[in-house]
Amino acid sequence: MTADAGLKVVRLGARGDGIAETAQGERYLPFALPGECVRAAAGGGLPELLSAPSPERRPPRCRHFGVCGGCVAQHMGEHLYADWKRGMLEDALHKRGLRAELAPLRSIAAGSRRRAVLTGRCVKGESLLGYHPRNSDAIFELLECPVLVPEIVAALPALRALTAAIGAHEVRLTVLATATGLDVAIASGRGGLDGKRAARLAQIAAAEPRLARLTLNGDAIAQRSAPVLGFAGVEVSPPPGAFVQAVAAAEGAIAEEVKAATAKVRRVADLFCGVGTLTFRLARAAAVAAYDSDAAALAALRAAARHAKGLKPIEAKLRDLMREPLSARELDGFDAVVFDPPRAGATAQAAALARSRVPIVVAVSCHPGTLARDLRILVDGGYQLERVLPIDQFLFSAHVEAVAYLKR
C-alpha cells in the first residue's frame, strides 16, 4: 500500500505507536490503532484516518493530547489499553526467557497522580509553565491534565506566577500533593535571588492556600505547614523534591504485593528505601534494615521512625547501592530482600543477591526492560520467578510499574 493510499496498522508498539508493515520495513505511526488505515501527520501529531476508526478508538480526555509528550494512549479503549500495558511487561520477560504468573493489570483512576515535574520558562518577558511536547524541548502552556490530582491543576496559575517571579530562562518545579498541602520544590540555575524577587515568591506562596511549603534550590522560601505523607500510619515529612511513588493508590498496590510476599519473615532488607514508603509497612511485622544513598530522605525516615509506635526495629543506613551493593555475605542474614531501584535497575545488586541464600526477593520497578534483565540474573542464580503484578501507575503513558516475587 502506498503512502498516498494510507498505511494499514497491524499492531501496537511499546511506545503506543501503531505499526504498519511496508516494503521498506516497519513504520511507526503515533496515535494510530490496529485495523485503521491512516496517513501520518506531519510532526507526529494525530493521524488522518482514511478508514473507519477502530472500535477501540475513544475521544481523548484532554485538549493537549497529541501535543503533550506525556500521554500517548488516551485514544485507546479500556481492553486494548490494558492488553497493551500488560503486553509491555510480558514482552520484556519473554525476551529474557522468563516465565511466571503474570497478573492482570492493576488499574489506577484518572486524576490521582500526586507528584508532577513541570518546566517553567521565561522568554522576552513572557512565562510558560507546562510539559514538553512529543520529541521537543519546547514547552506548551498547560491548562488542564486529567492525570494529576485536582489540587495541582487548580494551583497551576500560582505555579505560573512563581515561574514569572523568578524570571530565569528555565526552572523545574517538582510538585507533590501531601496531606497538609502542596510541596513545591523549584530548581533554578539562576542561583540566589535578590530580596525583591524572594519577597515576591513568598507573597505568591502566602496567597495560595493549597501550598504547604515552597523551596528554591533546597532553600526555604515559605512554609505554611510541614508537608506530610502517611505510610502505614506513620507520618513522614519528605525533603524538598524527594522521590515518592507518583500515585498513592499505586503505592498501596505495591505495598499490598510486598506485604503478601513477606508475610512470615522476621528480618527484611529494604534497598533503595527512599523516605520509607515500604519500610514502615514492613516494620509492622518484621525488623527492617533500610538502605539508600539519599541522606535527606534517610533523615526524614529516621525522624518519622523516632515518633512512630508499634513498629519492629528499623535501621536506616546511608549507602550507594549502585557503587557498593550489599554483598552475598551481608545479605545472608535476611529472610527477605525488597529492592526498588531507579529506572536503570540494579544489576550489581541483583548479581550479589543471586549469590546469596536469601529465601525471598521482591523486585519493584518502573521499567520492564531493566526489571527483566535483573530478574534474569536472579533466576540464573537459582531463584524461581513466582508472580509479576503490572500496575498502571503512569496513566496513559508508555510506562508501567511492576512488582515481581521470587523464591529461592
β-bridge partners, 131? 140
CATH architecture assignment, domain 83-108+247-407: 3-Layer(aba) Sandwich (3.40)
Residue ranges, comma separated, of all CATH 2.40.50.1070 domains in the chain are 115-223
Determine phi and psi for 255, rounding to 5 degrees: -60, -40
**All residues at 6 or more sequence positions from 108 whose CB lies less than 8 Å from its CB, including other chains:** 247, 249, 250, 391, 392, 393, 395
3-state helix, strand, coil in the chain (%, to 5): 25, 30, 45
Question: Is 115-223 CATH 2.40.50.1070?
Answer: yes
Residue ranges, comma separated, of all CATH 3.40.50.150 domains in the chain are 83-108+247-407
Q: What angle do CA 132, 133, 135 make, to 5 degrees?
A: 100
User: How far, in Å, CA of 338 to CA of 390, rounded?
Assistant: 17
Contact 391, 106 (CB under 8 A): yes
CA-nearest of 42, 7, 32, 33 to 21 is 7
User: How far, in Å, CA of 386 to CA of 404, rounded?
Assistant: 8
User: How far, in Å, CA of 359 to CA of 383, rounded?
Assistant: 9
CATH architecture assignment, domain 1-57: Beta Barrel (2.40)
Question: Helix, strand or coil for residue 29?
Answer: strand
Sign of CA dihedral 260, 369, 98, 389: positive
Q: What amino acid is encoded at 344 in this protein?
A: A
User: How far, in Å, CA of 176 to CA of 336, rounded?
Assistant: 31
Range list of β-strands (E), 132-240: 140-141, 170-178, 181-188, 211-216, 219-223, 229-231, 234-236
Known active-site residue 71: no
- The residue annotated as part of the active site, out of 37, 145, 273, 366, is 366
Q: Grid coordinates 540494579 are at which residue?
A: 346
Residue ranges, comma separated, of all CATH 2.40.50.140 domains in the chain are 1-57
Contact 352, 325 (CB under 8 A): yes
Q: What is the pLDDT along the chain (408 residues), one digit of tens a residue?
A: 444 568 999 999 999 999 999 988 999 999 999 999 998 877 667 789 999 999 999 999 999 999 999 999 999 999 999 999 999 999 999 999 999 999 999 999 999 999 999 999 987 778 899 999 988 888 999 999 999 999 999 999 999 999 999 887 889 999 999 999 999 999 987 666 778 888 999 999 999 999 999 999 999 999 999 999 999 999 999 999 999 999 999 999 999 999 999 999 999 999 999 999 999 999 999 999 999 999 999 999 999 999 999 999 999 999 999 999 999 999 999 999 999 999 999 999 999 999 999 999 999 999 999 999 999 999 999 999 999 999 999 999 999 999 999 999
CA-nearest of 180, 15, 156, 163 to 87 is 15
Q: How many CA atoms lie within 13 A of 285 on its CB side?
A: 13
- Residue 191 backbone zone (phi > 0: left; psi -120 to 50: alpha; other: beta): left
